[in-house]
Structure 1
Amino acid sequence: MTIYCSRTFQIGADNDINNQLDFNLVDATTETIGIHRTNVVDLDNIRNSITALDHAVDIINNEGSQLGSVQDKL
C-alpha cells in the first residue's frame, strides 16, 4: 500500500519530538485495495472476488487498528 498522507499531532505543551505523535494513512480506494473490478459472472470470478474482498477487509481492519493505536496514545 502506498502512503496517502502523513500527519503529526501536537500532544504536549513543548514543541519537541517527545510531544508529537506521527502517523500515516494509506491510500485505501477501491482501486488500490483491489476491489474496483470485482466480477460475479461465473464461479471462478466469484471466488476471485471473494478473495479480493477478504483482502480488502484485512487492509481496512489493519488501518482501523493503526488509527485506534494512535487514538489510545492521545
Structure 2
Amino acid sequence: MRNRVKLARMQAGYTQIELARKAGVTRQTISLIEKGEYNPSLRLCTDICHAVGQTLNDLFWEEGGGS
C-alpha cells in the first residue's frame, strides 16, 4: 500500500504537504500512510484517490492477501 500511495502522489506532482491539504489531513498522516504505519479510513482513502486521480483498487487493494 505505502509504495503505491507514494508513487501516485509523486506521479501527480504533489508533495506530502500538498496531498495532505487536498485530503484534509496533516503531512504527518500522509507520511505514515506511505510508510504503512497508519491504516486510513475509507473516507480518507477515497479522498486520496480523488486527489491523485487513482481508484481504490489502484492504491489500496492488496493482491494475494489471503489468510
Question: TM-score range, shorter-chain basis?
Answer: under 0.3
User: TM-score, normalized by length of structure 1?
Assistant: 0.24
* Higher RCO structure, 1 or 2 (CA under 8 Å, sep 6+): 2
User: TM-score, normalized by length of structure 2?
Assistant: 0.26
**Greater helix proportion:** 2
**Greater strand proportion:** 1
